[in-house]
Amino acid sequence: MPRSRAAALPALSLIAATLLLAACSAPQQLQADNAIAPPPPPAPGKRVEVTGSAISPYSGYTRVPPTTLQRSVATMPYPMPYPSPSYAPGAERFPDAQANRAVLVEEQPVSTFSSDVDTASYAYVRRQLSAGRMPPPAAVRVEEMVNYFPYAYAAPGKASQPFALTTGLMPSPWNADNQLLHVAVRGYDLQRAERPPMNIVLLVDVSGSMAPQDRLPLLKQGFRLFAQGLREQDRVAIVTYANGTTVALEPTTGSDKQKIIDAIDALQAAGGTAGRDGLERAYAMAQRHFDTKAVNRVILATDGDFNIGVRDPRQLETFIADKRKSGVYLSIFGVGDGNLNDALIQRLTQSGNGNAAYIDSLLEARKALQAELGSTMFPIANDVKMQVEFNPARVAAYRLIGYETRMLARQDFKDDKVDAGDMGAGHTVTAIYEITPAAGAAKLVDPLRYGAGKKAAPGGKNDELAFVRVRYKLPGENTSRLAEQPVRQATARATLAAAPADQRFAVAVAAFGQRLRGEPQVSDYSYADIATLANDARGADADGYRAEFVKLVRMAESLGQAATTGRP
């Protein structure tokens, strides 16, 4: 064979492989002017700088010329960060929780639940819609969608009283006979100088399932951003697990950022997933360098696909709960699509006094690991529980929207041994109840033959519609404190438009989540109605999160219309 032809074969093979890859992933490819070429994996111990004429904030990768890849998905609100996964659809696992139903106040006047500051569900829903498919209903946790967004609720003035509690009452947009009770808690926001040191162990899943670009390579980009924000007093270690566990980085102070970044760049994916072994090694590392004045935390980054070693979730939960008592908390960043074990991630996070986020893009990695570092890493209160007591003279029934996996028994509220969610600096928690006024009781149930009838609220409190309580522990304390506030009917807004923008936007997100889950209460409230409500309540929206939400609602509307096109 002539030398010139032999030399050309590798180049031809490379071109053929490139074209084949593009053809296979065409349904999920980016718009032509935003097509993304992933960088080659970095060699161990070397940094790789990604440069180019333009960078997509949803990927962090260089755009390639439009002539290189002429693919487009006209209906996508913004480019998907990565091609579709290699896993079969439907292999994901989500918590199995039925939507809350309306509860009669005469039978159960008190509603109790744990706070939830997780945001994983919203990011996962966004990824699915952006890929042109509706999310599985089980993947939609309404409270996580509502709590994804920043809100300008009233803030507390000092750390010793870490919460400000506000309530709002307004008409329901999807049922003219009902009202919505909006309950909001905002935590004290620590300034950078007030934040304690961090003792962090990054526990990174480097098994073979983490190889795709939307998994380990994406996490590495996010961890670089995390490393850039470290201070001299912070300390970070890296433990990896696959078939076995490895210490990729001994505890290193934030003053040596380059060493930390080099260790991040050297991470490679291969092998099985011995999750329990990795957790044990990471917790041991965190405990060995435990600092009573620091935030001691393990951050697990995984698709949740534990397939070697101890896999029983109950054993893992018990292990993590025991470690929580030592003062080492657990947060989890989930990645990937196709085999995501969201159910396991949720159970482990709730056991570990931490938060769960889903990283679907570099923009989300920046939000979770850099922009919201204070609220993610620095707890201001532990075991935060919320309880609402409804006045039967004013309310016939109520329905808590979301929080299905966070419900507590009434007696759990005062029991300081019962674990609940934690809140970080500046975090906000929003809960929304749909209320049927007492005058509408006849539409729900027939009156009792032997019932005594509605009783007036004791102590002349008949003007109160409900009473809200928040119980919490300050970090390091074992005895809970209590904050409480009445909700008076006189504070009700006559129209939804008269409610503050933050409350209206939260209602729009709650409506969207219910609609995605197929809940009958909002069956007559269209995606177009939701988009209009959200768009009118966008406010300043400096980071564009609310504008993005409106686009997602319209994407869901388009997908719904496309699914019914041509049906008789």
pLDDT at 295: 92
Paired strand residues for 375: none
What phi, psi does 187 have (nearest 5°)?
-90, 160
> Which residue, 303, 310, 309, is CA-closest to 342?
303
Strand ranges (E), 338-420: 356-358, 379-390, 395-400
Are 453 and 135 spatial neighbours (Cβ–Cβ below 8 Å)?
no
Tens place of pLDDT per residue across the chain (568 aa): 444 444 444 444 444 444 433 444 433 333 333 333 344 444 444 333 333 323 233 333 333 333 332 333 233 333 344 444 444 455 788 888 899 999 999 999 999 999 988 999 999 999 999 999 999 999 999 999 999 999 999 999 887 788 899 999 999 999 999 999 999 999 999 888 889 999 999 999 999 889 999 999 999 999 999 999 999 999 999 999 988 899 999 999 999 999 999 999 999 998 776 667 888 899 999 999 999 999 999 999 998 766 545 556 777 788 888 888 888 999 999 998 877 888 888 888 888 878 899 999 999 999 998 888 777 788 889 999 999 999 999 999 999 999 999 999 999 999 999 999 889 898 999 999 999 999 888 788 887 777 655 566 666 577 899 999 999 999 889 999 999 999 999 999 999 999 999 999 999 999 999 999 999 999 999 999 999 999 999 998 989 999 999 999 999 999 988 877 655 5
Taking the alpha carbons of 185, 190, 195, 198 in that order, is the dihedral positive or negative? positive
Tell me the Cα Rg of the chain. 25
Are 14 and 21 spatial neighbours (Cβ–Cβ below 8 Å)?
no
The Cα-based distances of 367 to 74, 323, 363, 372 in angstroms read 27, 27, 6, 6
pLDDT at 130: 95
- Pairwise CA distance, residues 290 & 159, whole Å: 23
Structural tokens at position 442: 């006849």
Taking the alpha carbons of 297, 82, 563, 555 in that order, is the dihedral positive or negative? positive
pLDDT at 332: 92
pLDDT at 2: 46
Structural tokens at position 5: 């032809």
Amino acid occupying residue 56: S
Query: Whose structure tokens read 């309950």?
Result: 183
How far from the centroid of its chain's Cα atoms is residue 200's Cα? 20
Beta strand pairing call for 356-358 and 464-473: unpaired
pLDDT at 454: 57
What phi, psi does 487 have (nearest 5°)?
-115, 115
pLDDT digits (tens, 9 = 90+) for 332-361: 999 988 778 888 888 888 888 788 999 999
Structural tokens at position 277: 């072994």
pLDDT at 39: 41
Assign 315 to helix, strand or coil. helix
Are 218 and 359 spatial neighbours (Cβ–Cβ below 8 Å)?
yes
> Which residue, 380, 408, 387, is CA-closest to 483?
387
The Cα-based distances of 525 to 57, 498, 520 in angstroms read 33, 20, 10
pLDDT at 392: 94
Are 338 and 212 spatial neighbours (Cβ–Cβ below 8 Å)?
no
How far from the centroid of its chain's Cα atoms is residue 540's Cα? 22
- Pairwise CA distance, residues 517 & 556, whole Å: 12
- Pairwise CA distance, residues 341 & 353, whole Å: 19
Taking the alpha carbons of 470, 501, 354, 137 in that order, is the dihedral positive or negative? positive
Structural tokens at position 416: 């300081």
Assign 195 to helix, strand or coil. coil
What phi, psi does 310 have (nearest 5°)?
-70, 120
The Cα-based distances of 69 to 3, 61, 64, 72, 354 in angstroms read 31, 15, 8, 9, 42
HSE-CB at 208 with a 13 A cutoff on CA atoms is: 7
- Pairwise CA distance, residues 137 & 133, whole Å: 12
- Pairwise CA distance, residues 504 & 489, whole Å: 18
Are 242 and 273 spatial neighbours (Cβ–Cβ below 8 Å)?
yes
The Cα-based distances of 296 to 40, 43, 291, 444 in angstroms read 34, 31, 7, 50
Structural tokens at position 345: 């991630």
- Pairwise CA distance, residues 437 & 430, whole Å: 22
pLDDT at 457: 63
| Ranges for all domains in the chain classified under CATH 3.40.50.410 | 196-377
- Pairwise CA distance, residues 24 & 71, whole Å: 12
How far from the centroid of its chain's Cα atoms is residue 498's Cα? 29
Beta strand pairing call for 103-104 and 329-334: unpaired
**Considering all CA atoms of the chain, what is the largest pairwise distance in Å, rounded to the nearest integer?**
101
- Pairwise CA distance, residues 387 & 389, whole Å: 7
Structural tokens at position 157: 């003035």
In the DSSP assignment, the letter for residue 29 is P
The pTM of the full predicted model, rounded to 2 decimals, is: 0.81
Are 340 and 123 spatial neighbours (Cβ–Cβ below 8 Å)?
no
Are 222 and 365 spatial neighbours (Cβ–Cβ below 8 Å)?
yes
Are 332 and 359 spatial neighbours (Cβ–Cβ below 8 Å)?
no
Structural tokens at position 83: 């091609």
- Pairwise CA distance, residues 495 & 173, whole Å: 9
Are 506 and 430 spatial neighbours (Cβ–Cβ below 8 Å)?
yes
Paired strand residues for 472: 481
The Cα-based distances of 374 to 184, 380, 538 in angstroms read 19, 10, 24
Domain 196-377 classification at class level:
alpha beta
